[in-house]
C-alpha cells in the first residue's frame, strides 16, 4: 500500500513530505494506523547522517503509538481497534541465542531497525513512524494500556525502555541510592522509573537551574557535579549510576561516586569517550557497563510497570510540519523533555 510520510532526502536537506510503500498484510502481520510518534535524538543523528551509515531517503521515528486496523490470519494477540506500540525494532533473526533469551536488541545476526534497517519484504531499507501507517510482524508489536495519556506513552518505546532495562538488569531495589546523570529525554525517565522502584534518587547535573524540575520529577536530591564540595560529600556512596549524557565527556568524577562493587551504566553516549583513569575502577572494584534499549518481553514489562505506576514522559506536542524546527530545538536542549508528533491531526 502507498502511504504518506515525512523523510529526509539527504543529510543537508530538511525533512519533507514523501509517498512510501508499506507491504501488504501477511499472515503474521499487524497493520497499524499511527496516532503519535515520538522524536528521539537518534532520529536526528540518523537523518543528518551523523553516524555515517544513513541510506536516503529515510523516514525516521521509532516511538510509535497507534490503533490496529487489521491483522493477519495467524495473529491472535491483537484485534482491530487495539491500542499498540512499536519501538526501535521490527524484526530479528529469532533463531540465535540472544533472540531465544528475549534479547532481540543484541541479535547475533543484527536486529532490523524500525527505520534504516534492511527490509526483508520490499527490499531497500525500512521506514519509521513519521508516517500515517505501518505494517509490523506481531512479535514486535506491544500492548499499550488505555489508562495512560496515550500521546505521552510514545517516548516510553525508546527513552522509557532505555532507562528501565539497566535499572532492572542491575537489580535496583527499594532503598538503593541511585544517581541519574544528565536531565534530558533519558534522564527524566530515569528519575521517574528509579523513584517508582523505591530507590533514593539523586539527580546529578552541571546546571543548578534544573534542580527544581528534577525534584518535581521525583528526585530526592540534586547533586551539582561542578561543585567540588558537593561531589566530595557523595564520594563512594552510590549503589548505581545511570549515565544519560549523550555526548563525549569525562567520566572520572562520576566513577568516584560509586561504592565498592557498584556499577555505572552508559546509555546516552554512543561515541568515543574521554580517557578514563583505571585507578578509580581498580581501587574499589567498580564497573562501567553499557546498555541498549531492551528486548520485546522486557519492553512489554516496562509498559505494564508504567501503567501500574501511572508513568509517562513529559512531552511537548508538535505537528508533522514542525519537525525541522523541533530537531533544532532538541539539538539545543530546548524541549521538556520529549517532542511527540500528533500524527492524527497532521497534514501529510
Residues 142 and 11 in one domain: yes
Last residue of a domain, one of 254, 274, 290: 290
Round to whole Å and give the CA distance between 320 and 346.
6
CA-to-CA distance for 213 and 210, rounded, in angstroms?
5
pLDDT in tens, 264-320: 999 998 888 999 999 999 999 999 999 999 999 999 999 999 999 999 999 999 999
Q: Are 24 and 109 part of one and the same domain?
A: yes
Phi–psi pair at 284, nearest 5 degrees: -130, 20
CA distance 7 to 60: 7
Strands 142-143 and 258-266, by their bridges, are: unpaired
* Contact between residue 253 and residue 277 where contact means Cβ atoms under 8 Å apart: no
pLDDT at 142 over 90: yes
DSSP three-state, residue 72: coil
| Residue 296, CB-side half-sphere exposure with 13 Å CA sphere | 24
Specify the pTM.
0.96
- 139 pLDDT band, cuts 50/70/90, is very high
pLDDT at residue 199, rounded to an integer: 98
Same domain, residue pair 136 and 199: no
Closest CA to 316 of 54, 57, 38, 33: 38
- 266 plus 150 within the same structural domain: no
How does residue 334 score in pLDDT terms, banded at 50, 70 and 90?
Answer: very high
C-alpha cell at 37: 510518534
The per-residue pLDDT of the chain, averaged, comes to 97
Which of 256, 274, 290 finishes a domain?
A: 290
CB count in 10 Å sphere of residue 160: 31
Average pLDDT for 251-274: 95
Q: How far is Cα 152 from Cα 340, in angstroms, rounded to an integer?
A: 8
pLDDT in the model for residue 31: 98
Q: Do 7 and 154 sit in the same domain of this protein? A: yes
| In a domain? residue 125 | yes
Q: Are residues 13 and 30 in the same domain?
A: yes
Residue 89 lies inside a defined structural domain of this protein = yes
Please list, in sequence order, all residues whose beta carbon lies within 8 angstroms of the beta carbon of residue 268, skipping any fewer than 6 positions away: 182, 186, 243, 244, 245, 246, 247
| Closest CA relative to residue 247, chosen from 174, 182, 306, 199 | 182
Instruction: Give pLDDT, residue 270.
Output: 85
User: How far apart (Å, rounded) are the C-alpha atoms in residues 11 and 4?
Assistant: 21
Same structural domain, 111 and 215: no
Rounded-to-integer distance, Cα 216 and Cα 214, Å: 5
The answer on pLDDT for 263 being more than 90 is: yes
Cell numbers placing 89 = 525494532
The boundaries of the domain holding residue 65 are 2-158+314-345
Q: Answer whether residue 106 is part of any domain.
A: yes
The DSSP annotation for 120-155 comes to: TTTSSB---SSBSEEEEEGGG-EE--TTS-HHHHGG
Question: What pLDDT shows up at residue 271?
Answer: 86
> What pLDDT sits at residue 348?
86
Flag whether 295 is in a domain.
no
What percentage of residues in the chain have a pLDDT greater than 70? 100
Residue 90: pLDDT band (50, 70, 90) is very high
Same domain, 122 and 255: no
What is the number of domains present in the chain? 2
Q: Say whether both 286 and 341 belong to one domain.
A: no
Q: Are 153 and 274 contained in the same domain?
A: no
pLDDT computed for residue 252 by the predictor: 96
Of the three residues 274, 290, 306, the one that is the final residue of a domain is 290
- On whether residue 234 sits in a domain, the answer given is yes
For residues 278 and 302, the answer to whether their CB atoms sit within 8 Å is no
Structural domain includes residue 299: no
E-only strand ranges, the chain: 2-7, 16-21, 29-39, 64-71, 83-86, 89-91, 112-113, 133-137, 142-143, 177-181, 200-205, 221-224, 238-243, 258-266, 287-290, 315-318, 338-342
The answer to whether residues 150 and 164 belong to one domain is no
Statement to judge: residues 75 and 139 lie in one domain: yes
Tens of pLDDT along 143-187? 999 999 999 999 999 999 999 999 999 999 999 999 999 999 999
CATH code, 45:
3.90.180.10
Residue appearing with cell numbers 541510506: 55
Q: What is the CATH number of the domain that holds 203?
A: 3.40.50.720
Classify residue 308: in a domain, yes or no.
no
Asked if 136 and 69 touch (Cβ cutoff 8 Å), the reply is: no
79, 71 Cβ separation under 8 angstroms: yes
Check residues 269 and 327 and name the one with the higher pLDDT. 327
Amino acid at each position: 500500500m502507498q502511504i504518506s510520510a515525512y523523510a529526509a532526502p539527504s543529510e543537508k536537506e530538511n525533512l519533507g513530505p514523501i509517498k512510501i510503500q508499506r507491504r501488504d498484510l501477511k499472515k503474521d502481520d499487524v497493520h497499524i494506523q499511527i496516532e503519535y510518534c515520538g522524536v528521539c535524538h537518534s532520529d536526528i543523528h540518523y537523518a543528518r547522517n551523523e553516524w555515517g551509515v544513513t541510506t536516503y531517503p529515510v523516514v525516521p521515528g521509532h516511538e510509535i503509538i497507534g490503533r490496529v486496523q487489521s491483522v493477519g490470519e495467524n495473529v491472535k494477540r491483537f484485534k482491530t481497534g487495539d491500542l499498540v506500540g512499536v519501538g526501535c525494532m521490527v524484526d530479528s533473526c529469532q533463531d540465535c541465542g540472544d533472540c531465544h533469551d528475549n534479547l532481540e536488541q543484541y541479535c547475533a545476526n543484527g536486529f532490523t531497525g524500525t527505520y534504516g534497517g534492511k527490509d526483508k519484504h520490499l527490499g531497500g531499507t525500512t521506514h519509521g513512524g513519521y508516517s500515517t501507517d505501518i505494517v509490523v510482524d506481531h512479535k514486535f508489536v506491544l500492548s499499550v494500556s488505555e489508562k495512560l495519556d496515550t500521546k505521552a506513552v510514545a517516548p516510553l518505546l525508546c527513552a522509557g525502555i532505555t532507562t528501565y532495562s539497566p535499572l532492572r538488569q542491575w537489580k535496583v531495589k527499594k532503598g538503593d541510592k541511585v544517581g541519574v546523570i544528565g536531565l534530558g529525554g533519558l534522564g527524566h525517565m530515569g528519575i521517574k522509573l528509579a523513584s517508582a522502584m523505591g530507590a533514593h534518587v539523586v539527580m546529578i547535573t552541571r546546571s543548578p537551574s534544573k534542580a527544581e524540575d528534577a525534584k518535581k520529577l521525583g528526585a530526592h536530591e540534586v547533586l551539582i557535579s561542578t561543585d567540588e564540595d558537593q561531589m566530595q560529600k557523595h564520594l563512594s556512596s552510590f549503589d548505581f549510576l545511570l549515565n544519560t549524557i549523550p555526548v563525549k565527556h569525562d567520566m572520572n568524577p562520576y566513577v568516584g561516586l560509586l561504592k565498592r562493587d557498584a556499577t555505572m551504566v552508559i546509555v546516552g553516549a554512543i561515541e568515543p569517550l574521554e580517557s578514563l583513569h583505571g585507578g578509580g575502577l581498580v581501587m574499589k572494584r567498580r564497573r562501567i557497563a553499557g546498555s541498549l534499549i531492551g528486548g520485546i518481553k522486557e519492553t512489554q514489562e516496562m509498559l505494564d510497570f508504567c501503567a501500574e505506576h501511572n508513568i509517562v514522559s513529559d512531552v511537548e506536542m508538535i505537528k508533522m510540519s514542525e519537525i525541522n524546527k523541533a530537531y533544532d530545538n532538541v539539538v539545543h536542549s530546548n524541549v521538556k523533555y520529549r517532542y511527540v508528533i500528533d500524527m492524527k491531526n497532521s497534514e501529510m
